Amino acid sequence: MTSYREQRSDKGNDVRPVISIVANFTRPTDTKPSLLSFSEVTTLLHEFGHSLHGMLSKCTYESLSGTSVARDFVELPSQFMENYAFEKEWLSSWAIHYKTCEKIPDAIIEKIRESSTFNEGYACNRQLGFGFLDMAWHTITAPATGKITDLSQQQWQKQSFSRLWKEQI
């Protein structure tokens, strides 16, 4: 999503934003039209959420409109929109076979929903590890000596969740 002009108020007049979505989606071939992968669908919904954020903004100051918000809020509309890709009603209204016009089968929608949580535990632990590493770097009380990679490796080992789980067992 790109905003060419942010929404703002100019002497009491509401100036509407100019926004676009540019994406690198699968190209059509000689025998098949451009068909979006599931990942491309969620990307489109994500960027559309950012677009809505910009288009529905109503602020006085351009510097505070659209996606120019606090970092922890900027992703809310886009991540909200991504959830539609997992909803049966939404998918069955859009996901149709390009030749037969048949709606996506319920069994495939269920598989999509079930697979969406694959590897989530690993991803969560990985993100927590990054947080612990960041805290370690920002709480150093003396100048670091040695290689940066050594300090990072020490912190990763110190915060190893697999080690912590083994100690709990």
Give, for all 169 residues of the chain, the pLDDT tens digit.
999 999 998 998 999 999 999 999 999 999 999 999 999 999 999 999 999 999 998 888 888 888 888 877 889 999 999 999 999 999 989 899 999 999 999 999 999 999 989 999 888 888 888 888 888 888 888 887 888 888 778 777 776 655 555 555 4
User: Would residue 167 show up in a list of annotated catalytic residues for this protein?
Assistant: no
Query: What's the pLDDT score for residue 1?
Result: 93
Structural domains in the chain, sorted by start:
2-86 (3.40.390.10), 122-168 (no CATH)
Beta carbons within 10 angstroms of residue 91's beta carbon: 21
Query: What's the pLDDT score for residue 123?
Result: 87
Selecting among 47, 75, 89, 110, the annotated active-site residue is 47
CA distances from 44 to 10, 55, 81, 108, 153 (A): 31, 16, 9, 20, 37
* pTM of this prediction exceeds 0.75: no
Half-sphere exposure of 53 (CA within 13 A, CB side): 26
- Pairing, β 8-10 against β 13-15: antiparallel
Query: What's the pLDDT score for residue 88?
Result: 92
Query: What's the pLDDT score for residue 17?
Result: 94
Element (H, E) at 8: strand 8-10
Which residue shows structure tokens 């288009």?
55
DSSP code at position 75 = T
